[in-house]
């Protein structure tokens, strides 16, 4: 059942351009967060997703607006790819009342019902059952929605992964477990945490479909996710997607950390050369879907939006301390 999907030649239509724009936007936003983080005004931990844009964008583009996602601490890319409000995300990171959680969550808790971001929570594995339960609720409500659970390679070490996939397979729930394998849990290599075996084979233990995909190829990610989502929506149960990718920056924070000894500069460089954003750009330019002028326009549009979002966040009021006890009980 496990299949390896190779990148297919994209068709030069508008969709690749849209995927490129979405990735470029996430890249630029994360870069701006990293650049301004030392100003000490974004006073919460940030887990940036630079290098991993293709998984978020390719997967979320396979979903409808009312399809839900759940994700982890590294959720900016997922939130934005699902259509999340950049102003609300930046305000949340700045701890402002206009944030998507009113400043109660910070970077690691991005919730937004308007775009069906059900939850992002930073305890690894903790969100996997939430997405599984969301998928169960669709059936009770006679809805044909699908939920994507974004998880990292570390999350499959958690019992919650096994418990959730077992249950979803048993009940044939409409959920896609999308694993972004970036090779590290904080600073510990996958090889130091798990036995050497093909990760997609995990799905065999549950009798569900799986696929492995180049997680830096947004077109391939999109195709494989579209198939898994269609299978889930048709009532054929969950699947596991393993997308291999790489986190460019440190686990938490704005810096490169290839000098601290847990990974080599050569390893980083090999992934840097496979940048998901640049590689699609060169394909689009070679294919004349994108011109250099159009690319420059995109960048300046995105930069203007980012500038405006930071301004919005910084100009927004902090939440009223008198509201600190609100919403403990519903």
Among 2, 36, 83, 133, binds other proteins (CB under 8 A): 133
Q: Which stretch binds other proteins (CB under 8 A): 104-112, 214-222, 228-236, 248-256?
A: 104-112
Q: Which stretch binds other proteins (CB under 8 A): 21-29, 111-119, 187-195, 211-219?
A: 111-119
* CA distance linking residue 183 with residue 189, whole number of Å: 6
* CA distance linking residue 61 with residue 22, whole number of Å: 10
211's torsion region: left (phi>0), alpha (psi -120 to 50) or beta? beta
* CA distance linking residue 95 with residue 310, whole number of Å: 12
Binding track over 169-208 against other proteins, x by CB under 8 A: -x--------------------------------------
Question: Cβ closer to other proteins: 76 or 109?
Answer: 109
Is residue 237 near other proteins by the rule CB under 8 A?
A: no
Is residue 119 near other proteins by the rule CB under 8 A?
A: yes
Burial of residue 17 (CB within 10 Å: 0-12, 13-18, 19+) is middle
* CA distance linking residue 304 with residue 135, whole number of Å: 37
Is residue 132 near other proteins by the rule CB under 8 A?
A: yes
Binding track over 32-71 against other proteins, x by CB under 8 A: ------------------------------------x-x-
* CA distance linking residue 118 with residue 51, whole number of Å: 24
Q: Which stretch binds other proteins (CB under 8 A): 101-109, 207-215, 218-226, 282-290?
A: 101-109
DSSP line for 1-47: -EEEEPPPPP--SHHHHHHHHHHHHHHHHHHHHHHHGGGS-S-S---
Which residues contact other proteins by CB under 8 A? 68, 70, 101-105, 109, 111, 113, 118-119, 121, 123, 126-141, 159-160, 162-164, 166-167, 170, 326-330
């Amino acid at each position: 059942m496990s299949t390896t999907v190779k990148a297919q030649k994209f068709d030069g239509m508008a969709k690749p351009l849209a995927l490129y724009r979405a990735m470029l936007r996430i890249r630029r936003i994360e870069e701006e967060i990293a650049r301004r983080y030392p100003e000490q005004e974004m006073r919460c931990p940030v887990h940036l997703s630079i290098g991993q844009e293709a998984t978020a964008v390719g997967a979320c583009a396979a979903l409808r607006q009312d399809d839900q996602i759940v994700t982890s601490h590294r959720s900016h890319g997922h939130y934005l790819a699902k259509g999340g409000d950049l102003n609300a995300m930046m305000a949340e990171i700045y701890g402002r009342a206009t944030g998507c959680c009113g400043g109660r969550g910070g970077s690691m808790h991005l919730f937004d019902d308007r775009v069906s971001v059900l939850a992002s929570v930073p305890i690894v594995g903790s969100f996997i059952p939430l997405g599984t339960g969301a998928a169960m609720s669709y059936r009770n409500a006679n809805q044909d929605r699908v939920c994507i659970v974004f998880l990292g390679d570390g999350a499959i070490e958690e019992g919650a992964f096994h418990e959730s996939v077992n249950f979803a397979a048993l009940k044939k729930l409409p959920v896609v477990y999308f694993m972004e394998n970036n090779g590290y849990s904080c600073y510990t290599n996958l090889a130091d945490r798990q036995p050497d075996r093909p990760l997609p084979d995990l799905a065999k233990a549950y009798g569900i479909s799986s696929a492995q995909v180049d997680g830096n190829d947004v077109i391939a990610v999109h195709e494989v996710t579209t198939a898994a989502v269609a299978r889930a929506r048709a009532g054929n149960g969950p699947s596991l997607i393993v997308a291999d990718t790489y986190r460019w920056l440190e686990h938490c924070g704005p810096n490169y950390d290839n000098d601290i000894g847990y990974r080599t500069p050569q390893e980083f460089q090999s992934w840097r050369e496979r940048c998901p954003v640049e590689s699609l750009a060169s394909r689009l330019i070679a294919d004349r879907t994108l011109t250099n002028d159009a690319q420059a326009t995109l960048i300046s549009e995105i930069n203007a939006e980012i500038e405006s979002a930071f301004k919005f966040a910084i100009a927004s009021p902090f939440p009223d301390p008198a509201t600190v006890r609100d919403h403990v009980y519903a």
